[in-house]
Structure 1
């Protein structure tokens, strides 16, 4: 079997979780011996696995259907996680939902990262088969490395005893960036580092103001950093704190777990079934709880759950995800061709 993996808008969203999901898919398919192409002009593939939602994505779906190809849509996005992101996102959210549902309905099968996001898709009235498959994690890449950790501390001029809390994400209110900064104000003895960026013109003025100047000295916004530095940060910090209000999975959580780092999350439904408070992570509901938990975790006043978290990451390894994708591909290719779907997208 040969798969066409498609990703539209690499320059715009390649640094996001969706961008990393494509990288994981490529590795996952290679790990189980499945041939793939990234060339949208290719015709010698058996199944289209599409990750994005723009007009080029729609065009490719229609082209695939005309050729009698099966289509899988990877539902990374929902109306819920579009809100509280870019300028005007809340006003556009209902239209985005309508667009997403229109695209998703054209697929023979949907893949989405978690049971929670699968539940959301069902609430949209989507009726085709849906598989909940994690975006997966490259365990070797994030395994703790003393050299990477030393490079991270040197880069930020951190002393050996400096307590550091990190987060990784776009500059979205949904990600909890305002809470991250507010907590840093209350904890001046700790250094808070938020990795990631987004074009400043695309985000609301209040977020832009916080990132550019309205934050305390103990908060750092170094932008998007990859490679050894971010990998060293994951394992070399004292805590990974992710106060996001809405996710379809949260690849950065998997990266922190794979780094054997202590993890503090907001208690939201996406984690149901795989992250459990006081078992493989800690969870809070508001800034008061977060402040208390951050202090306890950084000062080693609570049990270290990092190895339990690492076991969770092991269950979502790239190889495991490859096997799950392979099973879905085989099932879809064995399905009878749906002429009703063909008629909808080709007329």
Structure 2
């Protein structure tokens, strides 16, 4: 069994959740000892595993079909998480929805990262078999490391006493960036750091304005940072605050859980079945609730849930994902 992992537009998407999911897939296949290639010119494969939605995708699928190859489509996105993202996204969302339904329907089998994401596709009327497979998390990479934590604090020149709240995501309204800044205004004594980057020309002007200058002094937008600094931030911060309105899973949430970090998220359907309020995370519905919970967590007036969160992340390891993918591949081939 040999798999072609197809990822169109790698340079544009490598800093996104889809980009990280693709890297996790490669590691998962390696852990399960599944032979794979990412070279589209290499036609020696049995299964085409599609991850993206570019203009060449349909042609690649059609070519595979002509050769009687099986096609698995990894449905990382839907119309709901396309809204409130790029400049003009809301205007073209109906067209985007029609476009991805057409592409997904070409697959023999679909994968989604959560039961919620599966339900959305079924509500679209897609009739293909759908399996739920988490995007996974590299547990070893995000386990707390004192040296990484020291690099994080030195990079941002943080005193030992400074309380820090972090988030990770593209500069999208959907990600809750505006709410993150509004909550930060209530706590000038805390440092708020939003990791992530996308061209400011591609987002609405109100988001551009906030990132460039219209935010309080205690909020920092350092851009895209990888490696020891952000990994140290995950575990060393006092809280991971992710007020996103819509996700298909949220890899950054998995990374925070794997870092033994307390997590505060918005109470949205995507977390049903794997995150539980007051057990392995905290959930709020608006900025007033976020503010109350945030202060209680940071000042340790609320219970530390990081151990339960870490246990949740164990079930979504790269190795576990590899085992699931191997089973699905074998089923599709048979």
**TM-score category, normalised to shorter length:** over 0.9
- Where does 1:202-241 land on structure 2 (aligned, <5 Å)? 202-241=202-241
Does residue 265 of structure 2 align to residue 274 of structure 1?
Answer: no
Give 3-state SS (helix, strand or coil) of 1:174's partner. Answer: coil
Partners of 1:35 and 1:213 lie apart in 2 by 49
Give 3-state SS (helix, strand or coil) of 2:244's partner. Answer: coil
- Where does 1:1-347 land on structure 2 (aligned, <5 Å)? 1-334=1-334
Partners of 1:158 and 1:195 lie apart in 2 by 16
Deviates more, 1:51-60 or 1:134-143: 51-60
Partners of 1:22 and 1:286 lie apart in 2 by 32
Partners of 2:315 and 2:111 lie apart in 1 by 18
Give 3-state SS (helix, strand or coil) of 1:173's partner. Answer: coil
The alignment's C-alpha RMSD in Å is 0.4
Q: Quote the offset at 1:65 in angstroms.
A: 0.6
Q: Structure 1: where are the runs of 5+ without partners? A: 335-347
Structure 1 moving runs of 4+ over 4 Å: none
Give 3-state SS (helix, strand or coil) of 1:279's partner. Answer: coil
Deviations 1:51-86 (A, max 9, x none): 000111111111111111000000000000000000
Give 3-state SS (helix, strand or coil) of 1:55's partner. Answer: coil
Partners of 2:118 and 2:126 lie apart in 1 by 10
Q: Quote the offset at 1:158 in angstroms.
A: 0.3
Partner of 1:342: none
Deviations 1:182-202 (A, max 9, x none): 111111000000000101110
Partners of 2:80 and 2:286 lie apart in 1 by 20
Partners of 1:171 and 1:58 lie apart in 2 by 29
Partners of 1:291 and 1:193 lie apart in 2 by 16
Give 3-state SS (helix, strand or coil) of 2:56's partner. Answer: helix
Partners of 2:271 and 2:328 lie apart in 1 by 23
Deviations 1:212-234 (A, max 9, x none): 00000000000000000010000
Partners of 1:11 and 1:215 lie apart in 2 by 29
Partners of 1:30 and 1:12 lie apart in 2 by 25
Deviations 1:140-195 (A, max 9, x none): 00000000001000000000110000000000000000000011111100000000
Q: Structure 2: where are the runs of 5+ without partners? A: none
Partners of 1:285 and 1:42 lie apart in 2 by 48
Partners of 1:106 and 1:7 lie apart in 2 by 16
Deviations 1:117-143 (A, max 9, x none): 000000011111000110001100000
Partners of 2:299 and 2:186 lie apart in 1 by 16
Partners of 1:36 and 1:258 lie apart in 2 by 27
Deviations 1:17-61 (A, max 9, x none): 000000000000000100100001111100000000011111111
